[in-house]
Structure 1
Amino acid sequence: MFPAQAMMIPVFVQVTLTIFLFARVAAIRNSEIRADTSLLKTAAIDSTRYSQKAQQLANNYNSQFQAPVLFYAIVAFAMLTASESFLLAALGGLFVLTRIIHSTVHTGSNNVLHRFMSFAAGYLVLALMWFVFGFTYFL
């Protein structure tokens, strides 16, 4: 396996997580709309009309378009500049693991301290990825 291939594994896992969360949000919202058709009009303007669980999942789904954007960018830039490495691949895997933990906590117990710890750990790994990339690219 080449470093570029190894770097794509965490990308595919992150994309799978995002698609999975979308499917869960869609299924819950669909179920709630079937149970209360008035949601079709009210939720179109105010998504807080859905249940707390649906909102929790939707919030977590939306968070997949925040920090992971910097992850996708670092992978793309590393590949475009031929700076890919097994170290970046391992850090990418660690970042995605923190995202899975964050999602599990956010959509489960929703313990804010645990959620923050996994979020902060992910950002630290992401910052390290950018540092490694910068060091490799400029030196």
Structure 2
Amino acid sequence: MPLTAKLLIIAIAAQVFLTIAILVLMGRERVPRVMSGEIPVKDIAVDRDAYPLRARLLSNNFDNQFQLPVLFYVAGLLTLFATTPGWIDVILAWLFVASRYVHAAIHVTTNRVHMRFAAYTTGLALLSIFWLWLVLRLVLT
């Protein structure tokens, strides 16, 4: 397997690990509160408003890991199975993943919306370029 394919797989795994880490952090915020009775189950059966802010931020960020990253997973897998990944693919993938880590860090700490939006749109731009590059290679070769 070429080094570029391995690096692309590691980038995909890094995005998966981010999602798992957010899930674990969210669980550590939410589960003890419910188990202790601090937050009644009926208060969280429909929405998250009963949780404290940090738990809601983690929950929102976890949801966000199933938006743009889903398109990244498809592009990454398509790249691995339909082409031989090149360095452009690897660089775009890693930059996208880095933007997701920055986005998550902002989202679950300061939640400065302008900074978070900048990280999000950077990731969107990188993902769009990744997809454009992939489609051009698949169609033109």
Q: Normalising by structure 1, report the TM-score.
A: 0.93
Q: State the Cα distance separating 1:47 from its structure 2 match.
A: 2.0
**Identity in percent:** 28
Structural RMSD (CA): 1.3
Runs of 4+ in 1 over 6 A off after TM superposition: none
Q: Could you tell me how far apart the structure 2 residues matched to 1:24 and 1:93 are?
A: 23
Kept in 2, the 8 Å contact 1:7–1:84? The answer is yes
Q: Which residue of 2 aligns with 1:79?
A: 80
Q: Which residue of 2 aligns with 1:2?
A: 3
Kept in 2, the 8 Å contact 1:39–1:50? The answer is no
Q: Residue type matched to 1:43 in 2?
A: I
Q: Normalising by structure 2, report the TM-score.
A: 0.92
Q: State the Cα distance separating 1:131 from its structure 2 match.
A: 1.1
When residues 64 and 38 of structure 1 are mapped into structure 2, their CA distance, relative to the original with a 3 A threshold, is closer
CA displacement, residues 77-113 of structure 1 (integer Å, 9 cap, x when unaligned): 1122124212101110000000000000000110000
Kept in 2, the 8 Å contact 1:7–1:86? The answer is no
Q: Could you tell me how far apart the structure 1 residues matched to 2:102 and 2:55 are?
A: 19
Q: State the Cα distance separating 1:45 from its structure 2 match.
A: 2.4
Q: State the Cα distance separating 1:76 from its structure 2 match.
A: 1.0
Q: Could you tell me how far apart the structure 1 residues matched to 2:40 and 2:75 are?
A: 40
Q: Which residue of 1 aligns with 2:94?
A: 93
Equivalenced residue count is 139
Q: Could you tell me how far apart the structure 2 residues matched to 1:86 and 1:39 are?
A: 51
Q: Could you tell me how far apart the structure 2 residues matched to 1:79 and 1:69 are?
A: 15
